[in-house]
Amino acid sequence: MDAAIWSSLLAVVIGGGASLLISLSDMRGKGIATFFVLIPMLMPSQITSLAWKELVGFFSDPGVQNPLYSRQGVVLVLGIEHSTAVFLAVRSSLRSLSWELVEAARVSGAKPLRILRTVILPLIFPGILAGFSLSFVAAIGNFGVPALLGIPGRFPVLTTLIYRKLNGFGTSVLSETAVLSLVLIILACAGLALRAAASRSFSVKGTKEGTEGILLSLGRNHLLVEAGIWSLFAVVSILPFLSLVRVSLVPAVGVPLTLDTVTLQNFRFVLLEQTAVVRSFGVSFRLALISACLTTLMAILLAYLSETRKRFIPRILDLVADAPYAIPGIAVSISMILAFLPSIPFIGSLYSTFWILLIAYISRFMALTLRAVVAGLEQFDPKLEESAQVLGAGL
């Protein structure tokens, strides 16, 4: 929990600062800068950890343990990875900010930094809090970063402790992991409840929705300032990825990348000669495709019954669908094992099968599809459906 709190605070600094800078300054290339900020969200936790480990290891002395194998390393990588959640939350708040309030402060003689401190930050505080809460919940349930950086550095967290217990033996393994999973769920729910309560208490709305404007000018030295900003974005988002590319193009670890040592043998061996990779890719693709199709069909039906027809049970299911996405993924995994390990009549046990993975995928990601469909139906005019019914159209 300590790592989750500190990494969330770091995520607020990185993601919130980037959002304020891109939204309120006159820097150029804001679209590309936004893409760079979102890059950590596009990579799985394990890949992010591996990339940062290779990057820091490249600049470390040979024979010295990688500095990221520590509590500080886990906090750093978690903070960078989850900064995208804060960025999106703060960015959304800034876009709905009434710019008339900023102009009124300017007319009153307030300087940009004072406007930022006394007007903008209080108005977007719910967005900052929402980002912090989402980052905290994600950090609590993150397994990839603590596994790759925390285990070698002897820094255990709840997710890695659950993993180690599952790899153990004994009659009490499932019971102990179930208790630890409940602790994760309680912590995650507490973070979401705190965000909801604080948002209701501190939410401040402007007179009307406004558009973003320029508050912070980079001044005459804008080229130098922009160079520093882009360098920071490159360090956070691009260099870790390039470190993976460098390692993949050399024949062995420790070999420097030169024109003489560069090779594509690693790609050929992994992608063409290892049948396990081809099989794993096929399973992953089928799982993603089937779960995406099923969640879409289920979301359309559920959203229609709950939003358009206002049925009671579908509306309850609509609320419940968010739970598996809000709680940590490893807790969802434990619940799936406990639910489908016993034999089901006429089917048998689903444990260690394709079907338990499919059920877990649908349960985990239903909320993403459902929220998108519900948002679309909320803009749907009921008169269109009534007109179609008058003309004799069925469901």
d(CA 239, CA 245): 10
Answer whether residue 206 shows pLDDT above 50.
Answer: no
- Tens-place pLDDT, residues 357-367: 999 999 888 88
CB 177 within 8 A of CB 162: yes
Mean local confidence (pLDDT), 133-147: 87
Which residue has 């069909």 as its token pair?
Answer: 297
- pLDDT score recorded for residue 294: 95
d(CA 20, CA 94): 8
Mean local confidence (pLDDT), 356-382: 83
CB 138 within 8 A of CB 301: no
Answer whether residue 30 shows pLDDT above 50.
Answer: yes
170 band by pLDDT with thresholds 50, 70 and 90? low
- Tens-place pLDDT, residues 33-71: 888 888 888 888 888 898 898 888 888 777 788 899 999
CB 323 within 8 A of CB 137: no
Q: Looking at residue 207, what DSSP letter applies?
A: S
Of 312 and 18, the one with more pLDDT: 18
CB 128 within 8 A of CB 238: no
- pLDDT score recorded for residue 149: 92
- Tens-place pLDDT, residues 288-312: 999 999 999 998 988 888 877 777 7
Burial of 138 (0-12, 13-18, 19+ CB in 10 A): buried
- pLDDT score recorded for residue 355: 92
207 band by pLDDT with thresholds 50, 70 and 90? very low
- pLDDT score recorded for residue 34: 87
Of 365 and 98, the one with more pLDDT: 365
Of 217 and 6, the one with more pLDDT: 6
Of 100, 105, 84, 112, nearest in space to 26 by CA: 112
169 band by pLDDT with thresholds 50, 70 and 90? low
d(CA 228, CA 365): 38
d(CA 262, CA 247): 10
CB 50 within 8 A of CB 148: yes
Which of 9-23, 40-54, 176-190, 349-363 comes out lowest in average pLDDT?
Answer: 176-190
210 band by pLDDT with thresholds 50, 70 and 90? very low
Top-confidence range, 75-79, 123-127, 179-183, 323-327: 75-79
Answer whether residue 182 shows pLDDT above 60.
Answer: yes
- pLDDT score recorded for residue 13: 94
Q: Which CATH architecture has domain 2-248?
A: Orthogonal Bundle (1.10)
What is the average pLDDT score of the chain? 83
3-state SS, residue 138: helix
Burial of 347 (0-12, 13-18, 19+ CB in 10 A): exposed
Mean local confidence (pLDDT), 370-383: 78
Q: What's this model's pTM, rounded to 2 decimal places? A: 0.77
Answer whether residue 372 shows pLDDT above 70.
Answer: yes
Q: Find all residues with CB under 8 Å of 70, minimum gap 6, and list them.
A: 149, 153, 155
- Tens-place pLDDT, residues 77-96: 999 999 998 998 888 888 87
CB 160 within 8 A of CB 146: yes
- pLDDT score recorded for residue 125: 87
- pLDDT score recorded for residue 195: 66
Mean local confidence (pLDDT), 260-279: 86
d(CA 16, CA 51): 23
Answer whether residue 196 shows pLDDT above 80.
Answer: no
Mean local confidence (pLDDT), 97-114: 85
Answer whether residue 337 shows pLDDT above 80.
Answer: yes
